[in-house]
Amino acid sequence: MTKATLTLQWYPQTQFAGYYMALEKGFYAARGIDLEIRRGGSDVDTIGELREGKTDFATLFLTAGIRYRSQGLPLVNVAQIVNRGNLLVIAYKDRKIRTIKDLNGRKMSLWGDHFSGGYKKAFSDNGIWPVIFPQFISVEVFLRGGVDACSAMSYNEYLRILQTGRRPEELTVISLRDEGYDFPEDGVYCTEETWRKNPQLARDLREGSLEGWRYAAEHPDEAVELTLREADKAGYIVNRLLLRRMLDTILPSIFPEDSSAWTPGVLSRADYERTSEMMKSVFVDMTETTPYDVFSAGGEEQ
């Protein structure tokens, strides 16, 4: 058995259910991997752990992988789990926001750094300039009415907003994907050194993870219960209904209804190059990105 560690980028939730199921059901062990899964969160520097060799693998947004690679950290994508974008703008309808162009001059909370790339590209292309406020680990400022709009994931913050009692008809929901800004999200990464030392380990981790995700898709209630146990161990407060809705929302971004849309677990050359060009267009310090064949080790090109 080969020992390895996987650090997730956030607290336990069904965004990561497939990894939990793969460990629980022995899908990693069946491939000779003695895997330890570590939680992420606001108190965990996932990138720092990769850089310092404290973890072998980590989950990151594709935009994060591209951004940190451009800054000198030699990251390799070994599995592209979420191949469809889930970024949203949530706004109050009673503030006369109906379309993305209505955000011009309006107050909006927005995540920083790589998370903001798709939003900044959409704003630039539409010739709009919202008044941006930093959005950290919650949408509390939006819920208190301090901003007119906020950034959100379809499987996370939007569902949490609805759980506070806000009704869908009170909100304008703008999908960046529907606006033409569809970029892959969560993938599994390691450093070039880890990849070169044991490429088969990375491949086996990818296949075990995909098997775990397939199991989670086929046994959603079991996946939710396991995630709840992981959240309890981490002291992270979350509820069963949210976790089930989160799982139901994210799964179509992992396994497409149309099998020709993408290959599960694989980052396509077209998606990588399109996302790289977007990042270069909005971050002035990014003039070059790594070639696809160097960045992606997650499987054959689609």
Confidence category of residue 300, pLDDT binned at 50, 70, 90: very low
Q: Which domains does the chain have, with CATH numbers?
A: 2-84+184-295 (3.40.190.10), 87-175 (3.40.190.10)
Among left, alpha and beta (phi > 0; psi -120 to 50; other), residue 228 is alpha
How does strand 107-110 pair with strand 131-134? parallel
Mean pLDDT of 112-125: 93
Place of tokens 């003695």: 34
β-sheet with 87-92: strand ranges across: 131-134, 107-110, 149-153, 87-92, 171-175
Average pLDDT, the chain: 96
Measured CA to CA, the distance from residue 205 to residue 194 in angstroms comes to 13
Q: Are 50 and 75 in contact (CB under 8 A)?
A: yes
Beta bridge mates, 175: 88
For 233-253, give one letter per residue: b (16+ CB within 10 A) or e. Answer: eeebebeeebbbbbbebbbeb
Q: Kindly report the pTM of this predicted structure.
A: 0.96
Give residue-wise pLDDT tens across range 137-161.
899 999 999 999 999 999 999 999 9
Number of Cβ atoms within 10 Å of the Cβ of 151: 22
Contact 74, 53 (CB under 8 A): no
**Strand ranges for the chain from DSSP E:** 2-7, 33-38, 57-61, 75-80, 87-92, 107-110, 131-134, 149-153, 171-175, 186-191
The model's pLDDT over 201-212, given as tens digits with 9 standing for 90+, comes to 999 999 999 999
Mean pLDDT of 127-135: 97
Cβ neighbours for 268, distance < 8 A, ≥ 6 positions apart: 262, 301, 302
Q: What is the DSSP string of 253-264?
A: GTS-SSTTS--T
